[in-house]
Amino acid sequence: MYKKEKVNFIIEKLEELYPEVPIPLGHNDSYTLLIAVLLSAQCTDARVNTVTPHLFKRADNPFDMAKMNVDDIREIIKPCGLSPRKSKAISELSQILIKKYDGEVPQSFEQLEELPGVGHKTASVVMSQAFGVPAFPVDTHIHRLMYRWRLSSGKNVEQTEKDAKRLFPKELWNKLHLQIIYYGREYSPARGFKPEQAPIEQEIGWRG
């Protein structure tokens, strides 16, 4: 199967399997999405979703968050791991949003990536899911599947993102990256992968 045929098959199969793809992280607006994505680093979405209701009950906007003691934030988000670093970043970025952006989340990759604790992947999720700007955030599922499907070398997430953007139509990026995540969790996990039960791998082959 040629690469273009492979890509078209993947797009069609994912659309068939996941016509609707809700954002896995619970949030109310761009700020709460930003905080949820920051918390999801090295933590499952399911766990983040158990923590954020408690945090957002105390502070669901930068003004209230900036008033909170960092230790109080840390205590609430502890189940997500890396709590010392994440609590400090949440406090600092909230203060920056107030001082520089009147409490609003900026709508550019560059401005987002200047915020404490916000890397390219986090900025990409916020830009795509909060503001509708085409982006292709690469998490562990996408990185694994692009390699497994022989669509990327697997060298690093930066290369995987470049390959994904080159191969898939720009207008599909925001939905497609979520579809791949859902597929990776259901059919093509890192551990316990059963290729005979994975509809895409069954059709296009796969690399171990």
Q: Which of 99, 121, 162, 194 is catalytic?
A: 121
**Residue (of 168, 171, 181) closest to 23 by Cα position:** 181
Residues 6+ apart with CB under 8 A from 189: none
Q: In 10 A of CB 125, how many CB atoms?
A: 25
Q: Which of 45, 64, 88, 139 is catalytic?
A: 139
Catalytic residue status for 121:
yes
Contact 124, 173 (CB under 8 A): no
Catalytic residue status for 67:
no
Report d(CA 130, CA 158) in Å as an integer.
22
**Residue (of 114, 116, 115, 112) closest to 124 by Cα position:** 112
Query: Largest Cα–Cα distance in the chain?
Result: 57
Catalytic center residues: 121, 139
